Structure 1
Amino acid sequence: MSLELTAIVRKDPAGGFVAFVEELPGANTQGETLEEARENLREAVALVLESNRALAEQSLVGADVIRERLIA
């Protein structure tokens, strides 16, 4: 998939880094190092998308819908 998101990373005064994705509420994390924060953020994005997909599927049970792949 070629979708691009914007990661925001801030140094935490208490130590480490805090990171979130501007376009995806709920995708936020932290890490002791910049690379750990980045890696954790990739995982957070995957988890938020997986969770949102499961919630959508539950809400559509029994509904007559068209499901198709979207590449953005």
Structure 2
Amino acid sequence: MQTKKSFKQESYKVTGDWGRQSTFLQGQYPELTDDDLEFEEGKEGELIRRMEVRLNKKHDEVVNIIKKGQLQTL
């Protein structure tokens, strides 16, 4: 019998100035478009999914990228 691995994806809440953060992220990852980085409050999951696809990275990797961007723009 095959079992599925259960894991919890880290949820993330965008804080601070997303405009500055998205500009920083586009500088670090030029493949990200304005559409990829469009953010509506409470819809972090959609933002992360778009970034996962564009960057070909896993959820946790994208969350870490966003967190680093947040720290750089403080």
Tell me which interval the TM-score lies in, with the shorter structure as reference length: 0.3 to 0.5
Q: TM-score, normalised by structure 2?
A: 0.32
- Structure index of larger Rg: 1
Greater RCO structure (CA 8 Å; 6+ sep): 2
TM-score, structure 1 normalization: 0.33
